[in-house]
Amino acid sequence: MATDNYLTFQEFENREDAEKIALVLEENHIPVSIEKTPDLLDNVIIGRQYNNYVQLRIPADCFADAQKILIENTKVDLDSVDRNYMLFALNNEELLDVIAKPDQWGAYNYNLAKLILEERNTHVDNKKVDEIKLEYKKEIYEPRSLNTTWLVLGYGFSILSLIAVFTNNIRALLFVYGFDLLPGVLGIILGLYVINTKRTLPDGSQMLSFNDAARKHGWFMLVLAAIAVALILAWAFIKDLRFDLHTPF
């Protein structure tokens, strides 16, 4: 079966954990695909850290069913759970937050939170859970804006390259060229990332990650970076240079 329309449902640190979940879903007629997580730009440059290396992907229209299946098939024995486990330190309202966000906390924590509340003789306040879900939905459906770090990185690489070209700063030009045009290329990559990147929502739908203002910045970054790369390549052609990581400057 083609997996082009599959989206990432969960991520794992190793393939074995992904396969355990995949088996449960397959037994309940949910098609799955396990793939290695691609290297992401923001893992290295933007500062967002990913410890997950394996993606479990399923059709977008199966997300809700898959979440329900995992919750129903994840058994938790409260007596066997280590009392130092993080959920025991949460207050009742925080446990309701876990119950309201099973896509974020996972089926195990969802079921455990319910058991802990039951142990505390606390009724699950469905109205409160619905309120948390509503706020959570508003939060995750809100496109991101660009912070100062992103703006500095996105424009900085290109602007520095352009300044080097227009001031004919040989040392700076050789530096940029000697690193295979990396500053300009990074500007292009960042611009494309901001313009095109999408995120998958809990219901399996997708949306652009960044708001209109951020994506406009992405286009400016892309254009500036492309101009910078083109100008430096033209300068290098005129000077009859060749790429060399050890170009002396």
- CATH number of the structural domain spanning residue 1: 3.30.70
Q: What is the pLDDT of residue 31?
A: 95
Residue ending a domain, choose from 140, 158, 189:
140
Q: What is the pLDDT of residue 67?
A: 92
Given a cut of 90, whether residue 89 has pLDDT beyond it is: yes
Task: Return mean pLDDT, the chain.
Answer: 80
The whole-number average pLDDT for the span 89-97 is: 93
User: Which pLDDT tens digit goes with each residue over 60-84?
Assistant: 889 989 999 999 999 999 999 999 9
Domains contained in the chain, number: 3
Do 61 and 91 belong together in one domain? no
**Helix 148-166 vs helix 212-238: crossing angle, to nearest 10:** 30
**Helix 170-178 vs helix 148-166: crossing angle, to nearest 10:** 120
Query: How far, in Å, CA of 226 to CA of 8, rounded?
Result: 31
Residues near 81 by beta carbon (within 8 Å), at least 6 away in sequence: 112
Q: What is the pLDDT of residue 36?
A: 82
In a domain, 249, yes or no: no
Query: How far, in Å, CA of 54 to CA of 15, rounded?
Result: 6
**Interior/surface letters 54-65, b for 16+ CB within 10 angstroms, e for the rest:** bbbbbbbebbeb
Given a cut of 70, whether residue 159 has pLDDT beyond it is: yes
Do 1 and 34 belong together in one domain? yes
Do 156 and 234 belong together in one domain? yes
Residue ending a domain, choose from 35, 68, 101:
68
Do 177 and 227 belong together in one domain? yes
Residues near 144 by beta carbon (within 8 Å), at least 6 away in sequence: 209, 210, 211, 214
Tell which wins on pLDDT, 244 or 25.
Answer: 25
Given a cut of 80, whether residue 168 has pLDDT beyond it is: no
CB 181 within 8 A of CB 236: no
User: Which pLDDT tens digit goes with each residue over 5-40?
Assistant: 788 898 888 899 999 999 999 999 999 999 886 654
Q: What percent of the chain has pLDDT over 70?
A: 77
Given a cut of 70, whether residue 247 has pLDDT beyond it is: no
In a domain, 180, yes or no: yes
pTM across the whole model? 0.62
Q: What is the pLDDT of residue 50?
A: 47
Q: Which of 45-59, 69-83, 129-143 has the lowest mean pLDDT?
A: 45-59
Domain of 2, in residue numbers: 1-68
In a domain, 36, yes or no: yes
User: Residue 175 corresponds to which amino acid?
Assistant: F
